[in-house]
Amino acid sequence: MIAALADLFAWSEELPMVALVIAMVVASVLVWNSVWSEASLAVKAVAMAAFVASFFWVLTMMEAPRLTVLALHGEPVVATVVDHDVAHYSTRSGGFDVHCYSLRLSDGTPLFGDICRHWDDEFAVGETLTVLVDPSGLIAPETPDEVADARIWQILGLVGLVATLALCWVSGGPPPRVGSGRLPPRRLPRPPRSKRRSKYEP
């Protein structure tokens, strides 16, 4: 959910990963000691498969929602690149650049959100291009070619969601069996201890 909202409203790409880490920590604290330690090897294997499927589903939600909305409701317009911003992210292998481009319509109206590209410098300031925009103005625009590539993300997201739900249901096991109607045996209360009175008591 957080990943889908972050993709729709152009929030930070780090937000879904931070939320995933928090969810993993909370789940491990609540489930690890009580459930995981008592589960069988088969249930643990299915649970790990569900975790992997849900991880890929989160990654898909970081790319698919905005492109899907634009594919369904996007309107093509001609816009001009008016600004190019480069952000460098450092990693152990050297890091990478993210190029974001601000667009403006021919009448001077700025478009909400930027078009961003990892690694590549795709557009130049002053370049004119056709993009799909959200009529409500709440979602960042995108080029038709990138929107057309959303089909693979949609398929991966659907497969990941179905696999996650199915594996979670399997790892949860069948529902508890209904009792036979007999009451469980009750432990008889211990008889009260007799109080021995001291001979010195009056």
22 and 53 share a domain?
yes
89 and 107 share a domain?
yes
62 and 80 share a domain?
no
Range of the domain at 87: 75-133
> Looking at the domain assignment, is residue 10 inside a domain?
yes
Task: Identify how many contiguous H helices and E strands the chain contains and give both numbers.
Answer: 6, 4
Q: What are phi and psi of 78, to 5 degrees?
A: -100, 125
DSSP three-state, residue 144: helix
> Looking at the domain assignment, is residue 185 inside a domain?
no
79 and 61 share a domain?
no
The model carries a pTM of: 0.61
Distance, in Å, from the CA atom of 18 to the CA atom of 124, rounded to the nearest integer, reads: 33
> Looking at the domain assignment, is residue 35 inside a domain?
yes
Q: Is 103 exposed, middle or buried (0-12, 13-18, 19+ CB in 10 A)?
A: buried
Q: How many domains does the chain have?
A: 2
89 and 124 share a domain?
yes
> Which DSSP state fits 140?
-
The pLDDT tens digits for 97-116 are 888 899 999 899 999 888 88
The pLDDT tens digits for 59-82 are 787 778 888 889 888 999 999 999
Greater model confidence, 129 or 161: 129
The partner residues of 78 in beta bridges, in order of sequence, read 130
